Amino acid sequence: MSVEAKSPVFSGHVLGNPSAANTIKFILRQQVQPWHPQSALTHEAAIAVEKVDPTKFHAFSKLLFERQVEFFDLNIQNLSREQIYERLLELVKAVGVDADKVAALLNLKSGDGVSFNTGNGVTDDLKRVIRLGRQNGIHVSPTALFNGIVEGGVSSSWGPEEFVKFFVERLP
C-alpha cells in the first residue's frame, strides 16, 4: 500500500510501501453537524469551492480545519449568515479560488414571488451530502469507514501517527 494522502490530516504524508501502490483510497466526505448552525454554511462554502475549482477543495478544507476556532459557536453566535459567508470568502481567497464565483453560488436564489425558500447554488449538493450520510448511518464527524465498515474507534483527536498505526494493523 502506498498513497499520497489528500485528506487534510494527512496532507504531505506518504503512507505504506511503494511496491503495493494504489491499494488504499482515502475519501473525504462532508458531514454537516446540525447542532452547530454554522456547519451548513461552512459545508456550503466547501462545496462551492469544489464546484468552482475542484483542485482547491483539499487546500480549502485544510485551511478551514486550521482556522476552525474562528467558526466555533461562541465566536460566531452574533453573526448573520452573510457575515459568516464573508469570513469564509476570506479563506476562499487565501487558497486562490475566485471568491466572486463562490459568492455567486452562496447567494440565495431569487424567489418567484411565491416560493421564498429556494436555497442557493449548492443547496441541492448539500442535500445529497446529508442524504448520503443518513443513508449510511453516519451521524457524527469524524466517522471513518474501512472497507465500507464503520470503525468506531477512530477519533477526531488522532494525528497521522494514530492513523498509520490503524492502517498498519489492518493491511497485509
Q: Is residue 129 part of a domain?
A: no
26 close to 154: Cβ distance less than 8 angstroms:
no
Alpha carbons 11 and 6: distance in angstroms, whole number: 6
Same domain membership, residue 99 and residue 53? yes
Integer Cα distance of 160 and 164 in angstroms: 6
Strands 14-16 and 2-4: antiparallel
- Structural domain includes residue 83: yes
Say whether both 147 and 159 belong to one domain. Answer: yes
User: In which domain, by residue range, is 44 found?
Assistant: 35-122
Checking if the pLDDT of 15 tops 60, the result is no
Q: In the prediction, which pLDDT does 9 show?
A: 43
Residue range 79-127, pLDDT digits in tens: 999 999 999 999 999 999 999 999 999 999 876 777 788 899 999 999 9
Model pTM score: 0.80
Domain contains 130: no
Res. 3: pLDDT tops 50:
no
What distance in Å separates the CA atoms of residue 16 and residue 26, rounded to the nearest whole number?
A: 13
In a domain, 63, yes or no: yes
Query: Same domain, yes or no, for 51 and 91?
Result: yes
CA distances from 94 to 2, 32, 49, 97 (A): 30, 23, 12, 8
Q: In this structure, is residue 131 part of a structural domain? A: no
Instruction: Indicate whether 117 belongs to any domain.
Output: yes
pLDDT at 5 over 50: no
* Residues 43 and 89 both lie in one domain: yes
CA 162 to chain centre: 21
Domains in the chain: how many in total? Answer: 2
- Same domain, yes or no, for 70 and 142? no
Are 7 and 82 contained in the same domain?
A: no
List, for residues 36-68, the tens digit of each pLDDT value.
999 999 999 999 999 999 999 999 999 999 999
